[in-house]
Chain A
Amino acid sequence: MKKYVCCGKVRGIFNYKKNQCQCDAVTSFKTPAHHGMKCCFNNQEIIIIIIIIMDTRFTRGKSAILERSLTRPKTEVSVSAFALLFSEMVQYCQSRVYSVSELQARLADLGQGVGASLLDVLVLREKNGKRETKVLNILLFIKVSVWKALFGKEADKLEQANDDDKTYYIIEKEPLINAYISVPKENSTLNCAAFTAGIVEAILTHSGFPAKVTAHWHKGTTLMIKFDEAVIARDKALDGR
């Protein structure tokens, strides 16, 4: 049994071609709303109705995990445990690919899973459920809130490219992920922070700021964020209002 829930008016941008909407203000959700989003578009009034196709588990009321509070006491694990787990992940990915770029793509894929799960819980905890609508704010959200949740500190630097308004850099001198990784000489371009890049890419994309994020060796590790043209155009339009 599927149940449809409508949450009323949400301001948003409708993409005719893809038949999807990118909302810039999703305010009244209590459950993660990424899966099964559908939109109706009313040409005159610009009202977008979002329908969440509810999984049966949300309505059964049986799942203990949904009864638990999202704000919970912080628990800690040892960095060694994480480093060993991450090392196994890298080795596993490596056993299934032929090149460095494929390996980085696989790591980024894994990171996407983490980012997508993390976004909702952080927005609820840190922002009271309010989403960011501006490029600079979402980048600061990543630099501060996301980084603190993941690595216990803010990212070292956030910079914009001099010559390109679509490109931003998040620079981390000594990323936790790379702390115990030594890259072999023959694969010197490999940067396992591709995993972090995947996390950031998922957070941006799921917040309605589609972008490509890649990891590079530069001033430590630099994550290069390239936004879609449409994102920057929308941001400028918002500025003009």
Chain B
Amino acid sequence: MSRQSNRTTESKKMNSELFTLTYGALVTQLCKDYENDEEVNKQLDKMGYNIGVRLIEDFLARSSVGRCHDFRETADVIAKVAFKMYLGITPSVTNWSPAGDEFSLILENNPLVDFVELPDNHSNLVYSNILCGVLRGALEMVQMAVDVRFAQDTLRGDNVTEIRMKFVKRIEENLPAGDE
């Protein structure tokens, strides 16, 4: 923990092209390794989950945002702080369900899909599915179970990219006995 004091909270930035192309190489490799698109989607989600679980700590340390009081606040923090910090974009939050437990993130520019075109034989591939995993993993670490999926994707010919997020439940913390 001694290193924490001299660590800057500003996160370092890099050109997004290396990131984009690296992700592209990964997806290409997965498509070679797995038989069908569904398996690739699942694997991307799993990788995203692993990233999310680790990313949340980095996020809380750098952003110094406090506890969110409701799901609306969570949505705002994800869109305006988290996406901005890691991918340099600010999606808009819309389409709230009447119960306030479900919303959409509309991404105007998705850095993952720069240079990308889906070939005809991969029509079921959810190319950016890793983002769903990241959101799910990160929120799970702050006791929130959510359901995340792509509702629309520009790669598949939709006008916008839309990520739909649904609040499932609060995860109760089971502290080990005697651990405060």
For B69, what are the chain A residues with a Cβ–Cβ distance below 8 Å?
Answer: none
Interface string of B31-74 (1 = CB under 8 A from A): 00100000000010001001100110010000000000000000
| Max count, chain A CB within 10 A of own CB: residue among B22, B28, B43, B88 | B22
For B95, what are the chain A residues with a Cβ–Cβ distance below 8 Å?
Answer: none
A12 vs B50: C-alpha distance when bound (angstroms): 49
Query: Are B15 and A113 in contact, with the CB atoms below 8 A?
Result: no
For A217, what are the chain B residues with a Cβ–Cβ distance below 8 Å?
Answer: none
Query: Are A81 and B87 in contact, with the CB atoms below 8 A?
Result: yes
Pick from A76, A84, A110, A152: contact of B29, CB below 8 A: A110
For B115, what are the chain A residues with a Cβ–Cβ distance below 8 Å?
Answer: 65, 117, 121
B26 within 8 A of A: yes
A75 within 8 A of B: yes
Task: Identify which of residues 82-115 in chain A touch chain B, using a CB-to-CB cut-off of 8 Å.
Answer: 82, 84-89, 91-92, 96, 109-111, 113-114
| A74 with B15, Cβ < 8 A, contacts A89-B26, A113-B28 known | yes
| A113 with B25, Cβ < 8 A, contacts A65-B115, A78-B86, A80-B55 known | yes
Interface string of A169-187 (1 = CB under 8 A from B): 0000000100000000000
- For A93, give the chain B residue with the smallest CB separation: B29
A110 vs B25: C-alpha distance when bound (angstroms): 5
Query: Are B11 and A152 in contact, with the CB atoms below 8 A?
Result: no
For A110, what are the chain B residues with a Cβ–Cβ distance below 8 Å?
Answer: 22, 25-26, 29
| Max count, chain A CB within 10 A of own CB: residue among B13, B14, B117 | B14
| Max count, chain B CB within 10 A of own CB: residue among A65, A75, A89, A150 | A75
B159 to chain A, nearest CB (A): 11
Query: Are B117 and A57 in contact, with the CB atoms below 8 A?
Result: yes
Give the interface residue-count category, chain A.
35 or more
- For A63, give the chain B residue with the smallest CB separation: B117
| A85 with B19, Cβ < 8 A, contacts A76-B14, A76-B88, A110-B25 known | yes
Of the A-B pairs whose beta carbons lie under 8 Å apart in the complex, a sample of 29, sorted by A's number, is: A57-B117, A63-B117, A74-B16, A75-B15, A75-B111, A76-B14, A77-B86, A77-B87, A78-B11, A78-B12, A78-B88, A80-B12, A80-B55, A80-B86, A81-B55, A82-B18, A82-B19, A88-B47, A88-B51, A110-B26, A113-B25, A113-B28, A113-B29, A114-B18, A114-B25, A149-B15, A149-B18, A150-B18, A151-B15
Chain A residues near B (Cβ < 8 Å): 57, 63, 65, 74-82, 84-89, 91-92, 96, 109-111, 113-114, 117-118, 121, 149-152, 176, 195
For B17, what are the chain A residues with a Cβ–Cβ distance below 8 Å?
Answer: 118, 149-150
10 further A-B pairs in the complex, CB-CB below 8 A; given A82-B22, A91-B50, A92-B43: A65-B116, A75-B114, A77-B19, A78-B13, A85-B19, A109-B29, A110-B26, A117-B24, A149-B17, A150-B15
- For B22, give the chain A residue with the smallest CB separation: A114
For A74, what are the chain B residues with a Cβ–Cβ distance below 8 Å?
Answer: 15-16
Query: Are A113 and B24 in contact, with the CB atoms below 8 A?
Result: yes
B107 to chain A, nearest CB (A): 13
Looking at chain A's contact residues, is the secondary structure mostly helix, strand, loop, or mixed?
helix
**Residue total for B at the interface (Cβ-Cβ under 8 A):** 36
Pick from A65, A79, A87, A96: contact of B117, CB below 8 A: A65
For A111, what are the chain B residues with a Cβ–Cβ distance below 8 Å?
Answer: 25
B150 within 8 A of A: no
Query: Are A79 and B13 in contact, with the CB atoms below 8 A?
Result: yes
Query: Are B55 and A79 in contact, with the CB atoms below 8 A?
Result: no
Pick from A75, A81, A96: contact of B86, CB below 8 A: A81
B78 within 8 A of A: no
A144 to chain B, nearest CB (A): 15
For A77, what are the chain B residues with a Cβ–Cβ distance below 8 Å?
Answer: 13-14, 16, 19, 86-88, 111
A78 vs B21: C-alpha distance when bound (angstroms): 15
Query: Are B18 and A96 in contact, with the CB atoms below 8 A?
Result: no
